[in-house]
Amino acid sequence: MLHDDAYAWPPRWELEAELRALRDSAWWHRPELEEEARRAWERLLCDADMDEEGFTSAFHEIGAAFPGANETVLLFRSRPVVVPRGVPGGFPDEVPAESGPPPTPAPGHVDERRPETEPETEPEPEPEPEPEHEPEPVHRAERRKHRKARPWRWSRTRPEVPDITQPWGASLPPWTEHATGRAPGTAAPEPAPGRAPARPAEEERFLNLAVVWPLSREAVPEDRVLASGSRYELRVDIGDLSPKSLLAGQATSFPEGPLAHADDEGRGDWLDVTVISEDFVLPAVAHPLFLPLKGGSWVCPCGPGERHACEPRHRGRYLHIPFTAPETPGPARMRVHVAYRGNQLQSASLTAVVAARESAGGATTAVVDYTLTPGFTDLAELPARTAGVRIGRGGDGTMTVDVTSQHGPVATFWLGDHQVRDVLEKARAALLDCHALRTGEGENRGLENLLDQDNGKSPEALLHDMTKLARLGWSFFQLVARGRTERAALMRVLREPAQIQICREEHQYLVFPWGLLYDIPVESRAQLVPCGPGWEQVKRDTTARCCPAEGRHTLNTLCPYGFWGYRHFIEHPPSVPRGRRLRLTAGREGAAPVLTVARGNRLDRRLSDRHIATLRSRFRWVNVYDYSAALRQAFIGDPGDCVYFYGHGRRPRAADGEFSSATVLEIGRTDRILPQDLKAWAVDEGWDRWDELAPLVFLNGCHTADRDPASWLGFVDTFTELHASGVIGTEITVDQALASEFAELFWEALLAGQEVGPALHGVRMRLLRKGNVLGLAYTAYCSAALRLRGTV
């Protein structure tokens, strides 16, 4: 028999009963209650061998060590005692748990307390009554019209076990036992000593979402309007595709390889589910969800990342996240993120209609808008990421950016299209000003290179460039974290060198200059003071990513490691098409890499020949093409391990029939290539070779003073769709000599076995060491862990 929310024993003494009651109350989720105190009390509640004296002593030691814990206990003990009319701790307007028969379901309800289909050979396990449990408390959010990001508190709550007793006494069978076919209460078999757990056969898993009523846990029909100010729950699970899922209509099978789990001694993986909204009121935490070796996900009382000590009867099939509908009628939206070790595996957007009261005529919909690894497979291969940034479109067309960590949401901000263009125009103009001086007017206008023959600058010129970029970067940082609390939260997560994953919603051509963000506060007119230890570190070690004097940075300090592009690895992995997975290797196995070059002939021929000669000395073979027809034949034959566009890029010209939002790539003297040309070439079945090789593409076009934020993204998405492992691109016009040096250093690092993230960072630092900040103009649209397979 279970007691008090899945405990295996009744309260043994008064203090234990009080701590259980505190944990099941709204006071447990106070921002002032330290997370360490929560975890310590949780461990205390799970210790079956503790005697009363030890329990009491440990309880008071925790209260003495954490002021927020002590204050929470005092407030909890002084609370007014109200007899609830619903579930324990419930709100007065809920249906009494002890009064009368089960409520009559609303029209369209489907009783989800029973499985939809039962195998004839598998008897249903006898349900065991479990106690009621109070839904997680939520906090009221400001209305969306204020457009102000709410500060997020850092917390990680133990998920509510959703297979609780219903208010009228019916209970759900323990789903885990039913799904696995094991007898009730039977644990999974242990692997043989010294042998790794068996790998599962290939299976399909899907993210399922549903809005449910909090008491009955029955799904709210998709065509029903939600009532303003009312409480609901978002039901989340990963497993077989449910016909009741809001995502069922768009889901397709993902034939993926076996899932190599890493947590719980190889038995599965701990995932984090975060839900963010400017409309609905939601708990600002990351919710743990366990995905086992086979079958569907579950929630349980065990701590995230820990080995499971729970029994199958303690587990619940669904994660239930409480939320409150906004008071203002109209469409309301929320965004759901599923992450693993900081990697954003999948995100979905949910939209519902809210009115004064529930009624027919609604339209609750959800759509998957980003997928890093379809089918939730091969998670163990993904390197850990410190923070994730999800970029999408809000309901009013604004760019919505959510910044999350493994602890939960960190910041959310919004930018209109005009603001995005303004930010990019300022960023590109500032970088270009560090590179060249504009001369002439009209047909005579041009650019005068400010770099010396070694592509460097004097210390005085570097100080001038860095000061200008730091002021601009600090203004960008304030756009990302507009409030004082948000800025502090971002700094806590990203103070040390980190791995940041930028994820664009599918078909959204929105970019932001993340590498230019500067998070050391600077005043607009004050003279900035160079950080001596930081600059010495750059000269001494180009692999370093932090300042040895970081703790002494004060107002108006100028340090290279204040820029995100010099301190962090920032990756932009594209949303992976269905049936595919994120590429972590490029090229063929077992042979030195081959390079395919698409060359423009309007460049300086002497520099071009010298550059190609250098590349030939490093790659096993270099094939150079000056005509688009010849390049097409190469692409549908053998594209090589790496593809390199070295030439001019320009804006499309409608007069030439170039209708595209992307930059046009020039090859030879007169040929040009647009994204739609590549898609036309890929119709040939010879393009299937790309699926095997997954080449890395480098667009080193001396191209754009573009103000269009989508300048390269058309090519990025097209090459990704056509099986490239990643795309490297530049954001501004780059002089040919600098473009050549950057590419040579980058390819050299990759051929030496480095991953894209460290290789890109290393080139940036080598340029910075000689006074050049233009390494920040290059961006990697791929995983930072991508490397050439032939060098592994």
CATH 3.40.50 location in the chain = 585-791
pLDDT value of position 29: 81
Confidence of residue 644 (pLDDT cuts 50, 70, 90): very high
pLDDT value of position 439: 84
CATH 2.60.40.10 location in the chain = 144-185+201-376
pLDDT value of position 353: 92
Instruction: Decide if 356 contacts 329 (C-beta within 8 A).
Output: yes
Nearest Cα neighbor of 534 from 548, 544, 516 is 548
The mean per-residue pLDDT over the stretch 80-99 comes to 35
**Collapsed DSSP state (helix, strand, coil) of residue 652:** coil
- Which amino acid type is present at position 692? E
Which of 159-168, 414-423, 463-472 is predicted most confidently? 463-472
Which of 23-37, 258-272, 751-765 is predicted most confidently? 751-765
Instruction: Say whether pLDDT at 129 is over 60.
Output: no
Confidence of residue 361 (pLDDT cuts 50, 70, 90): confident
Confidence of residue 251 (pLDDT cuts 50, 70, 90): low
pLDDT value of position 378: 58
- Out of 67-71, 364-368, 610-614, least confident range: 67-71
Higher-confidence position of 654 and 620: 620
Higher-confidence position of 562 and 33: 562
Alpha helices in 519-561 (DSSP H): 532-540
pLDDT tens, 529-551?
999 999 999 999 999 999 999 99
Q: Which residues pair with 401 in a beta bridge?
A: 391, 413
Confidence of residue 699 (pLDDT cuts 50, 70, 90): very high
- Which amino acid type is present at position 600? G
pLDDT value of position 345: 83
Instruction: Decide if 663 contacts 706 (C-beta within 8 A).
Output: yes
* Averaged confidence pLDDT in the chain: 78
The mean per-residue pLDDT over the stretch 550-554 comes to 93
- Out of 339-348, 351-360, 379-388, 437-446, least confident range: 379-388
Confidence of residue 507 (pLDDT cuts 50, 70, 90): low
Q: Which residues pair with 569 in a beta bridge?
A: 499
- Out of 143-157, 511-525, 751-765, least confident range: 143-157
- Out of 80-84, 238-242, 364-368, 578-582, least confident range: 80-84
**Collapsed DSSP state (helix, strand, coil) of residue 764:** helix
Instruction: Say whether pLDDT at 138 is over 80.
Output: no
pLDDT value of position 579: 58
Instruction: Say whether pLDDT at 196 is over 50.
Output: no
> How many CB atoms neighbour CB 635 within 10 A?
24
- Determine the Cα angle at 48 with ends 46 and 49, to 5°: 130
The mean per-residue pLDDT over the stretch 73-96 comes to 47
Nearest Cα neighbor of 602 from 639, 649, 539, 568 is 649
The mean per-residue pLDDT over the stretch 666-680 comes to 90
Helix axes 756-769, 532-540, angle to 10 degrees: 110
pLDDT value of position 9: 79
Nearest Cα neighbor of 649 from 704, 578, 694 is 704
List the structure tokens of 462: 């570097």
- Out of 13-22, 368-377, 753-762, least confident range: 368-377
Instruction: Say whether pLDDT at 442 is over 50.
Output: yes
Confidence of residue 5 (pLDDT cuts 50, 70, 90): very low
Higher-confidence position of 565 and 142: 565
pLDDT value of position 203: 67
> How many CB atoms neighbour CB 592 within 10 A?
15
pLDDT value of position 395: 61
Map tokens 């997020």 to a residue: 152
CATH classification (class only), 144-185+201-376: mainly beta
Q: Using a pLDDT cut of 70, give the percent of the chain over it.
A: 74
The mean per-residue pLDDT over the stretch 388-414 comes to 75
**Collapsed DSSP state (helix, strand, coil) of residue 435:** helix
Instruction: Say whether pLDDT at 506 is over 80.
Output: no
pLDDT tens, 592-636?
999 999 999 889 999 999 999 999 999 999 999 999 999 999 999
CA dist 319 and 272 (Å) reads 11
The mean per-residue pLDDT over the stretch 354-372 comes to 88
pLDDT value of position 159: 38
Confidence of residue 387 (pLDDT cuts 50, 70, 90): confident
- Determine the Cα angle at 143 with ends 140 and 149, to 5°: 85
pLDDT value of position 373: 63
Instruction: Decide if 226 contacts 219 (C-beta within 8 A).
Output: no
pLDDT value of position 66: 84
- Out of 336-345, 392-401, 434-443, 635-644, least confident range: 392-401
How many angstroms from the chain centroid is the CA of residue 658?
A: 35
pLDDT value of position 664: 82
Instruction: Say whether pLDDT at 1 is over 50.
Output: no
| Dihedral of alpha carbons 733, 736, 739, 741, sign | negative
The per-residue DSSP string of 308-369 comes to P---GGG-BS-EEEEEE--SS-EEEEEEEEEEETTEEEEEEEEEEEEESS-EE----EEEEE
Confidence of residue 511 (pLDDT cuts 50, 70, 90): confident
Q: Which residues pair with 346 in a beta bridge?
A: 338, 371
- Out of 188-197, 343-352, 429-438, 723-732, least confident range: 188-197
pLDDT value of position 712: 61
CA dist 510 and 716 (Å) reads 12
Specify the fold of 585-791.
Rossmann fold (3.40.50)
Torsion angle defined by CA atoms of residues 774, 775, 779 and 783, in that order, rounded to the nearest 10 degrees: -170
Instruction: Say whether pLDDT at 174 is over 70.
Output: no
Model pTM score:
0.63
pLDDT value of position 88: 33
The mean per-residue pLDDT over the stretch 130-147 comes to 39
Instruction: Say whether pLDDT at 173 is over 50.
Output: no
Helix axes 459-480, 484-494, angle to 10 degrees: 120
